[in-house]
A and B are shown apart, each in its own frame.
Chain A
Amino acid sequence: MALTPFFVDGKSVQIDSDPQMPLLYALRDDLKMNNPKFGCGLAQCGACTVHLDGQAVRSCVLPVSAVKGKKVTTLAGLGTPEKPHPIQVAFLEEQVPQCGHCINGWAMTSAAFLKKNPKATDAEIKTALEGLKCRCGTHVSILRAIKRAQTLMA
């Protein structure tokens, strides 16, 4: 067991756990957050995606010890209904999620990507999102929303 202090969505937190425990369990079980989600535990789907100091990472395979002193941002910290991130505005307007379990992966990955590549082409966007999973088949809506977010961010 070890204490790991870090920041989640701007708040200072401290977790007492097995240092090898993935960050996802700290967020979901210890901090009682509703997102990110467990999808595979194998970094194969993206449902657990958060930002670590601005980078999109898969929290299901990242040991909590690796985030010591760092800034973790979840979907709930990306933006709020009052101050939404353009990705959230776009996903809402395009009515993207069906079951919604995958949404952390798409929203967090594309938010981090668009920040660095606001003018990315369709092909570049697809490459950036490769490997993320959606089981409801909302892929068309996802791409529509990301295009819309690009417009909002321009």
Chain B
Amino acid sequence: MTNQFKNEVNAPSAVTTDSMASASGATRRDFLSAAGALVVSVASGSLPMQALAQSAGATASAANAGASMGTTLATISALKPALKADELDSWVAIQADGSVVAYYGKVDLGQSLDVAIAQIVAEELDVSYGKVKIVMGNTATSLNQGGASSALGIQGGAKPLRNAAAEARRILLNLASEKLNVPVAQLSINDGEVSVKTNPAQKITYAELIGGKFFNSKVEWNKQIGNPLDVKGLAKPKSPAEYKVVGQSLPRNDVAWKVFGTGGNIADVKVPGMLHARVIRTPVAGGLAEKVDESSIKHIKGAKVVREKNFLAVVAPREWDAVQAARALKVTWSASPKPFPEFDKLHEHIKQAPTKKRSEDIKNGDVNAALNSGLKVVEAEYLWPFQSHASMGPASAVADVKADKITIWTGSQKPHYARDGVAALLNVPVDTVEAIWVQGPGSYGRNDAGDAVLDAAMISKMVGQPVRVQGMRHDGTAWDPKAPASVHRARAAIDANGKVVAYDFTTRAFSRATIDSNESDPRDSLVGMELGLPPKGGITFGTPEESYAFDNKMLAWEVIPDLIASASPMRTSHMRDPVGLQIQFASEQFIDELAYATGEDPIAFRIKYAKAPRDIAALKAAAEKSGWQPRGNAKRDFSGNVLTGRGIAYAQRAGTIVAVVAEIEVNRKTGRIWGRKFTVAHDCGLIVNPQGLRYTIEGGLVQALSRTLYEEVQFTPDQVKSVDWNSYPILDIKDTPEVIDIVLINRPEAPPTGAGEATCRVLPAAVANAFFDATGVRMRQAPLNPARVKAILAKA
């Protein structure tokens, strides 16, 4: 426990006004004061440059070396170069005390990404893990690496930091060589101390070499921003065989302050003189505020109406007064155009609606010819509902819009894009806006945080004071961007030998993101649309990710028009493993149906058709760990009140492979499904932090179980009816699985890929397949809630 408390020094300080203010500027001030008044030459390049560039660890030829890549003691700088991707100092810094700061342009949301990044930096720099501090999410100190996005935190996000740390180590060796007058090849490093191999007493520390100053050295930038941003230096990062810190289960830094209530998240940010705001959005879909009776809140002290076009809010100095004002304000809303279908006609609507775009992502052979050739055809249709992020707390944000400088505090997992969105909304240069990210009340994609921060900026500008916006529960559930509802149609032809010779899987759905997955364009925000900006729109979906080889194979998607073009509470955007749950719920259930149709064991069937060796390995690992036994032809007994069954599903996701065996109980009387035991075989290449990985997998699995069993946005033709936890139920503690067995398949030879989302997409079909195994009935519509289970079993 001592270690865990010690780790808290790395945690964000309590987010009160003062510490927040200093959090944004502390690093720079510290560096400046540490540097003192002495300004060392900032001239770059000097005679030893080429020789140094060719020293140990250098991979590029000297001709490729940028002029300043040969940093010498004379060229290090007391002033930090501007924050640019091609500056090594933008990525790593050695502090006066020898500790290391690494600047991460993504953020961690409670799944220990910052720990993993620190491990990687410590590894490359040859310092102990405890010396590395990760600074993340502040646009003044970190570059735009895309924020939290698509489980790329390590897969993409660690790359430039790994390269930069390796480059810093190379330069530090060169500096030590220069200082000690000993060739680099004769030096070794131990925890930030460089010594002469043959004479260990002759040594110098990183702190003595450059502590508090800057490398003033360039790295090669690939000219990308966001997720693909990468840099490299002359140094070659270590090979996995050398890893000592990477691969260790180190604990998280953000647990203690949460458990002791000593720190705060975005909801706790307070700025002097700020007003509390509540945004008021139409209670009926497509409604416009025709009349606002400002006198209806005049009895509330300091409460004011803020309004521009269809953007409406109230502000008050005290939070409770803002809440009261939002409730009391009399607004006459225009009638709803009733843009939504009846709730139980949603999937009929999806099937009937015109196709905006069709995409055939995989097209091998001639599927239709094979399906029409008189062979046995199996077909099925699967339905997925709209789902809400319904984050644990509704989003909040603080904005301080001043004439020459705008500061925003946001829980958006993409703070750089939030900065861009605020700058565009308020029509100011991007570099006048600083976004400070603070962990939010859960963030698994584009939830309501992106809208909250733009709302706060708009209101702060209108009232000329700092403003804190927080939603009420209904704002978080009814107004967040949704995960799209979908219909999936699958068909397959099976020849006389039981071989699947044609496979057609087509999704029809609302776009996966009718607003972009980030808020950099105000046209993708509620406030932007309420101010009259034309919606940008997005038309795309996705297809299953697997390695099944069928002679004729088609994977396609079709997107239908949005229900309302502008400011829709049913607009869609990315939610943890965007469209992965929908698609694989259908495709991996259909694969199961084919296994049964051909009389084969579901795991054997998958192994027979899956072609990627790592996919097969994951399937076998899940089968072995779960003790999977083929059922054979024995007849199953489906009588009794509590039925048990097990199911398998597997998928790839951007390089990661996951197979899940679900073992469930189905209570025929109550309709309740209990996911009792799950066995997960997980292959995401090289494992950086096994324990952090396990927690990430567990959380993702349970969240996906909640979406599989319970989650469904309710609506009528004119209103979203899911407004709280009663109308949008999620998994309860009583539904907690008894066992989650995780098999981590470590592949040091393969680059690390994502772990935050891959398990989520496999879980729904594993449960649905287990339901079939338990009951003999296919459940092709999610969620598998008690009412639906009872209804389908009653019909069977």
- Which residues of A approach B to under 8 Å, CB–CB? 17-18, 21-22, 25, 28-29, 32-35, 37-42, 44-45, 47, 74-76, 78-81, 84, 88-89, 91-93, 95-104, 107, 126-127, 129-143
Contacts and interface: CB of A to CB of B under 8 A. Distances in A.
11 contacts: A21-B320, A25-B319, A29-B320, A44-B473, A80-B260, A81-B256, A92-B1, A101-B441, A137-B706, A137-B731, A138-B695
A99 B320 contact: no
Interface stretch (B265-273, B330-338, B648-656): B265-273
Interface stretch (B379-387, B388-396, B515-523, B621-629): B388-396
A139 B265 contact: no
Contacts of B703: 135-137
B736 A126 contact: yes
Nearest to A79: B260
Nearest to B442: A99
A142 B698 CA distance: 12
Nearest to B441: A101
Nearest to B443: A99
Interface stretch (B8-16, B52-60, B548-556): B8-16
B393 A101 contact: yes
A74 B260 CA distance: 10
B732 to A, nearest CB: 6
Contact of A96 (B255, B264, B705, B740): B255
A74 B259 contact: no
A42 to B, nearest CB: 6
Contacts of A129: 733
A23 to B, nearest CB: 11
Contact of A130 (B109, B265, B733): B733
A21 B276 CA distance: 15
Contacts of A25: 318-320, 323
Contact of A137 (B393, B699, B734): B699
Nearest to A98: B110
Interface stretch (B563-571, B611-619, B722-730): B722-730
Given A42-B473, A99-B110, A76 B260 contact: yes
B261 A75 contact: yes
Contact of A126 (B256, B704, B725, B733): B733
A3 to B, nearest CB: 15
A135 B695 contact: no
Interface in B76-113: 109-111
B15 A34 contact: yes
Contacts of A134: 392
A76 B262 contact: yes
A9 B150 CA distance: 42
Contacts of B111: 98
Contacts of A102: 392
Contact of B736 (A47, A93, A98, A139): A139
Contacts of A99: 109-110, 265, 392, 439-443
Interface in B650-706: 691, 695, 698-706
Given A103-B258, A103-B259, A141 B695 contact: yes
Given A99-B441, A139-B731, 9 more contacts: A44-B473, A47-B392, A95-B691, A99-B110, A101-B265, A134-B392, A135-B441, A142-B736, A143-B736
B4 A32 contact: no
Contacts of A101: 265, 267, 391-393, 440-442
Contact of B702 (A45, A132, A138): A138
What are the 10 A-B residue pairs with the smallest beta carbon separation, nearest first?
Answer: A137-B702, A100-B258, A98-B110, A76-B261, A101-B441, A34-B264, A137-B703, A75-B261, A35-B261, A101-B392
Contact of B734 (A33, A81, A126): A126
Nearest to A136: B699
A99 B695 CA distance: 12
B319 A136 contact: no
Interface string B718-759: 000000111000111111110010000000000000000000
Interface of B: 1, 4-5, 8, 14-16, 109-111, 251-252, 254-256, 258-265, 267-268, 270, 276, 318-320, 323-324, 390-394, 439-443, 470, 472-473, 691, 695, 698-706, 724-726, 730-737, 740
Contacts of B256: 81, 92
A130 B252 CA distance: 28
Contact of B733 (A38, A75, A142): A142
B387 to A, nearest CB: 12
Nearest to B707: A137
A142 to B, nearest CB: 7
B392 A135 contact: yes
B698 A140 contact: yes
Given A93-B1, A130-B733, A45 B725 contact: yes
Contacts of A42: 473, 724-725
A140 B737 contact: yes
Nearest to B468: A29
A137 B441 contact: no
A81 B441 contact: no
A132 B392 CA distance: 11
Contacts of B735: 139
A98 B756 CA distance: 12
Contacts of A91: 255, 259
Contacts of A37: 265, 267, 392-393, 441
A88 B270 contact: no
Given A95-B251, A101-B441, A140-B702, A135 B732 contact: no
A34 B268 contact: yes
A81 B306 CA distance: 43
Nearest to B739: A140
Given A76-B261, A99-B440, A41 B473 contact: yes
Nearest to B736: A139
Contact of B442 (A79, A136, A141, A142): A136
B393 A47 contact: yes
A134 B698 CA distance: 13
Contacts of B730: 133, 135
Contact of A139 (B254, B259, B324, B733): B733
Contact of B270 (A32, A44, A107): A32
Give the one of B5, B258, B263 with max A CB within 10 A. B258
A50 to B, nearest CB: 11
A40 B700 CA distance: 23
Contacts of A80: 260
Nearest to A48: B393
Nearest to A99: B442
Nearest to A80: B260
Contact of A107 (B259, B263, B394, B740): B259
Contacts of B16: 32, 34
Contact of B392 (A35, A84, A107, A133): A133
Nearest to B269: A34
Contacts of A92: 1, 4, 255-256, 259
Nearest to B321: A18
Contacts of B700: 137
Contacts of A44: 473, 724-726
B43 to A, nearest CB: 48
A88 B258 CA distance: 10
B733 A88 contact: no
A132 B473 CA distance: 15
A108 B706 CA distance: 24
B392 A34 contact: no
Contact of A97 (B255, B701, B733, B736): B255
A40 B251 CA distance: 30
Contacts of A76: 260-262
Contacts of A104: 261
B673 to A, nearest CB: 15
B724 A40 contact: yes
B712 to A, nearest CB: 16
B701 A137 contact: yes
